[in-house]
Each structure stands twice: as C-alpha cells, then as structure tokens.
Amino acid sequence: MAELNFDTRKIRAGYDPLDNNLAVSPPIYQTTSYDFKNTEHAQNLFTYKEAGYLYTRVGNPTVTYFSERVKALDGAKNAVAVGSGMAAITYTLLNLASKGGTILASPYLYGGTIDAFDRLFPELGIKIKLTDAVLDPEKLEKELTDDVKAVYVESISNPNAYILDIDKISEVAHKHGVPVVVDNTLATPYLYRPLEHGADIVVYSATKALTGHGNIIAGVILDNGDMSLYTKERYPQFFEPIVMLKGKSTADIFPDNFFIFRATLVYLNLLGAALSPQDAYLGIIGLETLSERVAKQTKNAEAIVKYLESSPAVEWVRHPSAKDYKFKEVADRDLANGGGGVLAFGIKGTSEQEAEFLNNIKLFHYHVNLGDARSLIVDSPNTTHSELNDDEFKLADIPSNLIRISAGLEDAQDLIDDLEQAFKAAGLI
C-alpha cells in the first residue's frame, strides 16, 4: 500500500483492530501491570529480548497507540508519550546533558520552560544559555562550543509567534555534532514538521492544539532515528553499561533507538511522569480532528489579526498573517497551511484599562492554556511569562502590554465583536 496521506494517518496510524478483538476505536487498557506467560517470558521482557508490556508506568498499549499516531503524523522514527509537555522537555534535555554541559536555547519560549531553565537545570549541573543568536545561524555557530549538548527552540514561539529558520539552525548545529530540539506545540504537525527541516528531536505539550480540547495533560518526545550524531565523546551516557541491562548500554540494546529508549528506561521509569491510558485515549480522539481544528483556528486568527490591525486600541500585532510580520519570508516558505491560531497584540492604554478590557471579555476564556477548541485570551507578562526577569523579558521581546490570543472554533465575527465591546468598556475606542 502507498504511504497514506496526513488526514488518513490521523485516523488510522498506529492502531490495528485485528490486534484488539476488532475494536474500531482503540481500547483503554486500564491496567497497572501485565501477566507474564512464564519465567522465560518475564526474563525476556526485562532484558529487552522480547517486546511487550511490563508495567503501565513505562508502557501501555493505549499510550503506545497515541504515541505511534503522533509519530506517523510527524514522520518520526521513534516516540514515547509522557505525562506532560514539561516532562517531555525535561526528560529530553536531561537525556542529552546527563553528564553536564550547555544547552543553547532560544529566548522566545514558553515562560514555564524558561523558569525550568533558570531554576531546575542549574541545580542538576546543566547550564542553559538563552541566546538570540538563533535568529542568525552565523552568529549561532560561534556559540557552538564543545560543551554544547543541544540547541533548543520553538517552531512557532509562545507568545510572539516568531518563526525561526530551523533548516539553517540545524545545518550549523550538525556541523558541530550538536542535535536540534524543537518544541512544536503551537504549530502541530499539521502546520509544520520539524524533522523535515533538519531537526533531530521534537517535543510536544500534547495538552494544547495537538489534542485540542483542554481536557488532558500530556507530552510526547519524538526523534528522527539517526543516532550517528551522538558520539561517545560528547554523549557517553548512551554507551555506558546500565545495571538493569545486565552490563549492556542502551546503544547495545537498541542501536537505532537508544535516545528514546534511554529517556524511557532512565527518566520515565525512575522519575515516573507517565501518561494515563484514559488521557492517551482522549488524545487519540483529539488527533482525529487535528486538521479541521487547526485550519479553522488559523482562519479565525487571521480574521482577528485583520480586525486588530485596524483598531485604534491596538499598538501592534504579531502573527504570520500580520502586515509587518518580521519572519514573513520563512513563514511563506515553511507554513503552507497558515500561521496557526496563536497571535499577540499590544494594547494601547494604561494597565488599568488593560485590566478593564480583560475583565469585560465575554466569549474568550481568560486562562493559560493554548490550542483549545474554545478561544482563549491572557496577559502573558502577568501570567504565562511572569517568571521572567527584566533581562529575559527584553531578550524575549515581550512588552508589558502584550496580550495573547489563542483562537478557537467559534464564529470569527462573534469573537471580533467581543473584543470590540471589551475595548469600548475599557474606554480604548
């Protein structure tokens, strides 16, 4: 059979009814553990001579079906689903820098990610360097010292909707033997597939647009299956014996999948941020409408951008469809299906008027999720990015008057009317 197209894969990939009593919808395997057939079977599972399930913290069929479907949509070779997007980020970077080292990171990131970079990783001996050199690959190359273990970026940034040239970033990073990790949460594989642009590892907060209904917390880690970048000199952890593997290394057991295998064996297993079967099932159902949801969210965002650009209450607008969008060349090249449902704008008024505007919103939900079927609005500097210090706000280009919108699936005109009445209530128009 020829390779299936995207919209068929989001319905069919990673699951076969023949393996599940002909059930059309993937069953929820609501079980803690799994019986062994006999002692030989148990030993084979624990030494990875045989594939199978041991304990739901490190593997469950429903969770596998979910991760396999995301893997198919992204064009990845290996995948593991975990309990949250932050777990996906943390396990990925710990896996790459378990012996210490530096992660070069974009400053244009979710505030919780930067908070982890500021507080958690330094405690574990990992240095995080936020650098705007990600905007200029030639400048970035000068920062790729022998101590660097990864370059970390978001494909479409939160909250500014910046789009980086991941093709060029990957080309430069690979010259120095460094993998590129891309948080693709805002884009989803419907808008952008980082592995096709040279990235090595992709992480998701599947809580957001990937599943799209604001009803689960989940994360996914994917890779391209190319393990040649991970040398013994820079990444010895993949080649060192592990007691549980009877003296073998993760590279010995799975030479084509030792990155995801080690993340599962060490971090998911021992730190335990497992995705539940129930949430995995909800994730599978969410994936089935991914294209339709993100396409309409993008269309609604474009309509809102057009309105905001004409409003006297607005100082500036950031979205790939905006008139003055600074990354238009890359967006036009890489985002064939549009720029997504997340946009930011600068409200033109006092902090009191901003609060009055937000307090008078009727249709938008005022909270910190993204990619929901419902439209969401939030003052990012005071909420999602409140952890940033003054220098980080400046480096991330997040002005104090920034408002972030995540367009949902409502009627675009109703959303525009809601913004209009709230601007009026705040005395901004």
pLDDT in tens, 157-167: 999 999 999 99
Which pLDDT score is estimated for 246? 87
Asked if pLDDT for residue 1 goes beyond 60, the answer is: no
| Secondary structure (3-state) at 103 | strand
Lowest mean pLDDT among 41-50, 61-70, 73-82: 41-50
Nearest CA among 214, 376, 221 for reference residue 279: 214
Phi, psi for 13 (deg, rounded to 5): -65, 145
Which string of DSSP letters, residue by residue, matches 193-247? Answer: -GGGGT-SEEEEETTTTTT-SS----EEEEE-S--TT--TTT-GGGTS--GGGTT
Mean predicted confidence (pLDDT) in 338-362: 97
Inter-axis angle of helices 412-425 and 290-309, nearest 10: 40
Global pTM value: 0.97
Which pLDDT score is estimated for 97? 97
Residue-range domain boundaries for the chain: 6-285, 291-425
CA triple 334-293-336, angle to 5 deg: 15
| Secondary structure (3-state) at 26 | coil
- Contact (Cβ atoms closer than 8 angstroms) between residue 157 and residue 340: no
- pLDDT by residue (tens digit) across 219-263? 999 999 999 999 999 999 999 999 888 889 999 999 999 999 999
Q: How far apart, in whole angstroms, are the C-alpha atoms of residue 198 and residue 18? A: 36
Mean predicted confidence (pLDDT) in 51-72: 97
Which pLDDT score is estimated for 263? 98
Asked if pLDDT for residue 392 goes beyond 60, the answer is: yes
Asked if pLDDT for residue 2 goes beyond 90, the answer is: no
Which pLDDT score is estimated for 41? 96
Q: What percent of the chain has pLDDT over 70?
A: 100
- The one-letter amino acid code at 30 reads Q
Which pLDDT score is estimated for 324? 93
Please, which pLDDT band fits residue 92 given cuts at 50, 70 and 90? very high
Per the omega criterion (within 30 degrees of 0), is the bond before 399 cis?
no
**Domain 291-425, classified CATH 1.10.10.10, yes or no:** no
Q: How far apart, in whole angstroms, are the C-alpha atoms of residue 287 and residue 67? A: 11
Asked if pLDDT for residue 145 goes beyond 60, the answer is: yes
Tokens for 150, please give them. Answer: 């990864």
Mean predicted confidence (pLDDT) in 343-372: 97
CA distances (Å), 41 to each of 47, 103, 261, 309, in order? 10, 41, 20, 64
Mean predicted confidence (pLDDT) in 133-159: 97
Q: How far apart, in whole angstroms, are the C-alpha atoms of residue 276 and residue 280? A: 6
**Domain 6-285, classified CATH 3.40.50.2300, yes or no:** no
Q: What percent of the chain has pLDDT over 90?
A: 97
Phi, psi for 336 (deg, rounded to 5): -65, -30
Mean predicted confidence (pLDDT) in 135-152: 96
- pLDDT by residue (tens digit) across 186-216? 999 999 999 999 999 999 999 999 999 999 9
326: Cα within 13 Å, side-chain hemisphere: 10
Mean predicted confidence (pLDDT) in 175-181: 98
- pLDDT by residue (tens digit) across 36-48? 999 999 999 999 9
Please, which pLDDT band fits residue 373 given cuts at 50, 70 and 90? very high
